[in-house]
Amino acid sequence: MLKSVGAVLAAPRSAWNGAGASIPVTYVDVAAAAGITFQHDNAASTEKYLIETMGSGCGWIDYDQNGLMDLYLVNGAATRLYTPKHRLQSALYRNNGDGTFTDVTLKAGVGAEGLFGMGVAVGDYDNDGFPDLFVLGYGRCILFHNNGDGTFTDVTAKVGVENSGRWGSSAAWFDYDNDGRLDLVIANYVDWAPDNNFWCGDHGPGLRSYCHPDNYHGQAPTLFHNNGDGTFTDVSVRSGVGAKPGNGLGVVTFDYDDDGWQDIFVANDSMPNFLFHNNRDGTFREVGYMAGVAVSMDGTSEAGMGVDAADASGSGRMDLIVTHLDSQLARFYQNMGGGVFDDATLRSKISYATFHMSGFGTRFMDYDNDGWRDIFMCDGHILDNIERYRGEVRYAEPKLMFRNTGRGIFENVSNRLGADFVRPRVSRGAAIGDFDNDGDLDVLVNNNGELAQLLRNDGGNANHWLEIFLIGTKSNRDGVGARVKLTAGDLTLYDQREGGMSYQSAQDPRLHFGLGAHATVEALEIKWPSGVVTKLAGIKSDQIISVNEGEGLVERPFPRVAAKTR
């Protein structure tokens, strides 16, 4: 546990856990070679509709449960000002297991045509063993139920989760009342509409800009309770989650105070962030200011967009990362215990590198498997004419990777990860996953108005690793809310099965641990939301394991991709 801030941040990496050394890693964009031809259409117009610049998300979903991660990419739609040259739809790509993907959107029935899409969330809401697909958008959302045969059915109206009239950005499946069923929280943005599309920016050729969210009223988050009969009830107001409006963009659910109940963090754009503490009685209390995560260290509200939570400082507690627009800093909030976070952005050394960047999708991820959670960010400005206003800022921006050198001190290693990694793009959603099952983490990015990217990690598995697929029985089947402690030699790691994360995107459901030089995991402890505790010992590294609540290790195939796409 932490003794003092100074002691924690000064401790060298090798002094406390024997984690592995840094290894060479390159990220290679294999999207085209893998057959991923998707290009996001943002319906750009001279009227600068705000919805044009805020999307779009992406996600990992093993929809056919064959042990290979498939992927989903969210698209825009026609507007009253924009008629596309071809039909617009979101896309589902099946992982063929040989480094290539096949577009199966039409067969699966998940194109979401006509929806101006924003985000995606994946969760098995009916505990039938097949993950379902929730697509967020402007004005409404769609829930596609997985039929288990390669097809999906739109059950939105029947289930009651349309979120009608709101601008849904990001969502998280999580079990807030620990009843064994996944509930749904949605971060809603502002009340923009074509009829109140104000003129923003200067008057002159090429000077009109997308409006700031302060020009509109915010929208409160939505919380849907899973009734267990295939329907949901809107409990936003009753629970306290919908008590006040926000400009919600990113959401993550996690247990920040380690009481066994998931809490909700919402990154708000240009207003204080929300941290909803779970009262364990079906209600939440908003404690963002008291916890120290509502605003920056100088008391300023910032343009909160992407968000994630993980133990990045070695305390066993979940820290937070929040991305912002340029001229602000991405914030690293260190969890100090007792329900309090400290803005450790400057101490963490991530600060200046983000000053001219506009960060969206972000994740804590151990890209080199050395046992420390690093920070990934994908970037791209909101304004497509920003260079006419600020010469040092660009619309398309490179991605960032900050290597954790120990106890939450980071080093910018972006330029070491290859030309594809730093190639400027207008990036929004980012989903982290191991699509080739080789033990190192790959990155899926949906770029606004541009081709999608699949950045394959080459070299990260030179260090040891372990991935864990959780199967709840008494708890929700996805195991969301489970807390995990892993011990390998003098390396002790903590993680949680969270909901949401990043920006408008769905993550690989398997928990990933970099193990450095450790070839064996001596002890693994899983605390399930139900209260059941699973303890395992003597697990060999460099494999993907499945753990069933109440049973322990179970056989489940996770085939290694046969050939690397070049």
- Give the model confidence (pLDDT) of 24-36 as tens digits: 999 999 999 999 9
**145/113 Cα distance (integer angstroms):** 16
- DSSP codes of every residue in 258-316: -SSS-EEEEEEBTS--EEEEE-SSS-EEE-HHHHT-SS-TTS---B---EEEE--SSSS
pLDDT 10s digits, 213-239:
999 999 999 999 999 999 999 999 999
Task: Go through 245-280 and write b for each residue having 16 or more CB atoms within 10 A of its CB, e for each that does not.
Answer: bbbbbbbbbbbbbeebbbbbbbbbbbbbbbbbbbee
**62/153 Cα distance (integer angstroms):** 17
Is pLDDT at 5 greater than 90 in this prediction? no
Spatial contact of 27 and 457, defined as CB atoms under 8 Å apart: yes
DSSP annotation of 348 reads H
Q: What is the predicted pLDDT for the residue at 21? A: 64
What does the mean pLDDT of the chain come to? 94
Q: What is the predicted pLDDT for the residue at 18? A: 39
Is pLDDT at 10 greater than 50 in this prediction? no
- DSSP codes of every residue in 35-79: T---B------TT--GGGTS---EEEE-TT-SSS-EEEE-----B
Average pLDDT over residues 153-171: 98
Three-state secondary structure call for residue 156:
helix
**11/233 Cα distance (integer angstroms):** 48
Cβ neighbour number for residue 16 with a 10 Å cutoff: 15
Is pLDDT at 19 greater than 70 in this prediction? no
Cβ neighbour number for residue 172 with a 10 Å cutoff: 29
pLDDT 10s digits, 258-284:
999 999 999 999 999 999 999 999 999
**105/115 Cα distance (integer angstroms):** 15
Spatial contact of 2 and 315, defined as CB atoms under 8 Å apart: yes
Q: What is the predicted pLDDT for the residue at 321? A: 98
What percent of the chain is predicted at pLDDT more than 70? Answer: 96
Is pLDDT at 17 greater than 50 in this prediction? no
**440/443 Cα distance (integer angstroms):** 10
pLDDT 10s digits, 490-501:
999 999 999 999
**242/473 Cα distance (integer angstroms):** 30
DSSP annotation of 448 reads T
**90/154 Cα distance (integer angstroms):** 14
* Two structure tokens written together for 17: 């856990």
**148/326 Cα distance (integer angstroms):** 44
**H or E segment and range at residue 345:** helix 345-348
Which of 112, 108, 47, 102 lies closest to 76, judged by CA?
112
**210/194 Cα distance (integer angstroms):** 13
Q: What is the predicted pLDDT for the residue at 565? A: 54
pLDDT 10s digits, 421-446:
999 999 999 999 999 999 999 999 99
> Strands 464-471 and 543-548: what pairing?
parallel
**138/163 Cα distance (integer angstroms):** 10
> Strands 263-268 and 248-254: what pairing?
antiparallel
Radius of gyration of the chain (CA): 21
**H or E segment and range at residue 108:** helix 105-108
